[in-house]
Structure 1
C-alpha cells in the first residue's frame, strides 16, 4: 500500500496529491475509504465485472456477417446491434449508479447480471433483426450494472493513488479479455452459429453471478446509503455537474477511449487495405498492440506508488499529443513506411491507459458519498464517446490519415480540458482539483 495519506471528499478543494490542506474538514457523508489490501481473486472478480460489456461486444464481432445473412438484413442493420448495446450501456450506467447508492452494491449487480443471462438467451432465439437490436439494447443496459458497481466498490474502499493503482491492475483483466474474445467468438460461431455465441454469454453470466453472490462483499453499509427515489438521484447528478473539476476529470477517460476507439475501428482498413496485411498478420499486430495497452496500465500501477496521479496525467497528455502528431505526419508523408507507423502507434496505445485510471480515481475521490452515481457519469461518458467516435475515422476517409487525425483531435481536447477546466497547470503550485 502507498505510504501517502488518502483523502475523502472534502468541504473545500480536494488536493490531488492526497494531502489534506490545513483547515479543511472532511464531510460526514463521505468518510475515508478503509485501508484494505485486495488479493488476486478480488482483482480478477472486479476485472471480470468491468469487462462484461466489452466481452459481450467483442465476442460477437466475428458473427456480424452471419447475423446479416441469417436474418436477411443489411450489414448496416447488423452493425446497429453493436451501437444499440453501447447506447443501452450508457443509459444503464446512469440509472443503475444511483440505485447502487440507494440499495447497496450487491443487489443491483446480482439483478443486472441475472437479466443479462435472460436477454442473452432471448438474443439466441431472436427471429428478426429488430427484436435483436432491442434485446441488445437491453443487454447493454443490464451489463452496465457490473461495470458501474465495480467502480463504485473501488471508491468505497480506496481513494487517490491506491484507487488509481487498483484500476490499473484491473486493466490487465479488462485489456486481456477482449483480446481473446473475438477469437473465442469465431470458434463458437464456427461450431454452433451466431446464436451459440449468445448461449456462451448466458453461461458466462451464470458463472459470474455465482461468483459475485459467493465472493463479493457488500461495501456500502446501510448507514451510508442515500434515501429517496428519483428526486435523490437527480439531486446527486445535480451536485456532480455543479462541480466543474469533477466534470473535467470525468471527461478525460472518455477522451482516452476516443484515441483507442479510433484505432480499433480504423485499424482493419488501415492495415489490411492500406498496407496489404493478411488477416493473420493483422490479428498478430492487434495482439501486440494489446500487449502495449496492458503494459502501460501496469507501469502506471507501479508509478502511482511514487508519483501523485495528477502529476502523471499532466505529463502524459502532452506526450500523447506529441505522439499523435508524429503519427499524423507519418500517415501524410509516408516517412518510415509501415514500421514507423506501427512503432509510433504502439507507443500511443501504451500511453492510453495512463489517463483513465488516474482521472477516474481523482474524480471519484471528490464525491465518495455518491460513488455509484459518480461512477455512472464516468462510465456513461466513456460509452457515449465510444459511440460518437466510432464512425468518425470512416467519415473522414477510413485511412491512416483519418485515424491519426481523430487521435490528434481527442488528444488536443483532453489537454485543453485539463489545462482550462482544472488547476493542474497553475503556476502557484496549488495542485488541487
Structure 2
C-alpha cells in the first residue's frame, strides 16, 4: 500500500515534501503505540539486569556465535539488495523503463506483494523442506536473477519484460530469505534474543544506508548500479552461509 499512497501524495498539492510530513506523523503514532499499548512479553524471571556491562556481555555472546553471524550476514546482505532496489527504483521504473509515477508505484507494489506472498508460503513449506533448504534456495534464486538482470543490462537488452520479470523472481527468493534467516539466527541466541534482534536490525540499517547512495553514482538514467549492487550483495549473502556449514537442520520434520 505504501508505494501507491506515496505516488498519490507526490501528485497531490503538497508535492514530494508532503511525504516526509506523513512519515513523521506515522512514526510518531508508531512510537506512542509501542510505548503505551505493547506490554513487555519477556517473563520477569528471564529478564537481565540493566546496565552497560550487561548489555556488552550479551552483545559479545551474540557476536562470537559463528552460526548466528552467518545467518545474520546472509539476511542483512540479502536485505541490502532490497535497499538497492528501493533507492534505484525511480531511476529504473521512471527514467529507464518510462513508467509514470502511478505506474511505477503499482510496479513497486507488485514486487512487495511478491516478496510477502513468498514469505507466507515459506510458513507452509518449512516443516517439509526445512529452513536451511528454503534459505539456500532463496539466496540462489536472488543471486541468479540479479546476475541475469545485470547481464541483460550490460548487453543493452533490458526492457520492461526482462526488468520486471527478473526483479519479481528475485523477490520470490528474497521472501524465502526474510522468512527463514532471522529465525535461524535468533534460534542460536535464545539467552539474548533481544540483543540478537538489535544487532540484526542495526546491521540491516547500516548496510541499507551504505548501499542506497551508491545507486545514483552513475546518474539517474542507467540501471547498471542497481543490478551490480544487487548481484554483489546477493553474492556476499550467499557466501556468508559458509559460516553455518555442517549445522543440522532441526526445522524439517522427519517423515
TM-score normalised per structure 2? 0.85
Kept in 2: contact 1:189–1:197 (CA 8 A):
no
SS in 2 for 1:304: helix
Match of 1:200 among 25, 32, 36: 25
1:407 has 2:230 as partner: yes
Per the alignment, residue 361 of structure 1 pairs with 183
- What is the CA–CA distance in structure 1 between the aligned matches of 2:231 and 2:197, rounded to whole Å? 27
Larger radius of gyration: 1
User: Is the alpha carbon distance of 1:415 and 1:276 closer, same or farther for their aligned partners in structure 2, counting shifts above 3 Å?
Assistant: same
- What is the CA–CA distance in structure 2 between the aligned matches of 1:199 and 1:316, rounded to whole Å? 34
Deviation at 1:340? 1.7
Per the alignment, residue 375 of structure 1 pairs with 197
Deviation at 1:366? 1.3
- What is the CA–CA distance in structure 1 between the aligned matches of 2:32 and 2:169, rounded to whole Å? 36
1:251 has 2:73 as partner: yes
1:416 has 2:207 as partner: no
1:351 has 2:180 as partner: no
Deviation at 1:304? 1.7
User: Is the alpha carbon distance of 1:360 and 1:223 closer, same or farther for their aligned partners in structure 2, counting shifts above 3 Å?
Assistant: same
Q: What pairs up with 1:13-412 in 2 under 5 angstroms? A: 176=1, 178-183=2-7, 186=10, 190=14, 194=18, 197=22, 200-201=25-26, 204-205=29-30, 208-209=33-34, 213=37, 216-335=38-157, 337-398=159-220, 399-412=222-235
Deviation at 1:206? 7.2
Structure 1 gaps of 5+ residues are 1-175
Per the alignment, residue 96 of structure 1 pairs with none
User: Is the alpha carbon distance of 1:402 and 1:361 closer, same or farther for their aligned partners in structure 2, counting shifts above 3 Å?
Assistant: same
- What is the CA–CA distance in structure 2 between the aligned matches of 1:253 and 1:185, rounded to whole Å? 32
Kept in 2: contact 1:364–1:375 (CA 8 A):
yes
Kept in 1: contact 2:145–2:166 (CA 8 A):
yes
Deviation at 1:336? 6.2
User: Is the alpha carbon distance of 1:275 and 1:336 closer, same or farther for their aligned partners in structure 2, counting shifts above 3 Å?
Assistant: closer
- What is the CA–CA distance in structure 1 between the aligned matches of 2:170 and 2:206, rounded to whole Å? 22
User: Deviations for 1:72-93, whole angstroms, at most 9, x for unmatched residues?
Assistant: xxxxxxxxxxxxxxxxxxxxxx
Deviation at 1:188? 8.2
Count of residues in Structure 1 that have an aligned counterpart in Structure 2: 247
RMSD: 2.7
- What is the CA–CA distance in structure 2 between the aligned matches of 1:283 and 1:201, rounded to whole Å? 20
Per the alignment, residue 161 of structure 1 pairs with none
- What is the CA–CA distance in structure 2 between the aligned matches of 1:370 and 1:292, rounded to whole Å? 32
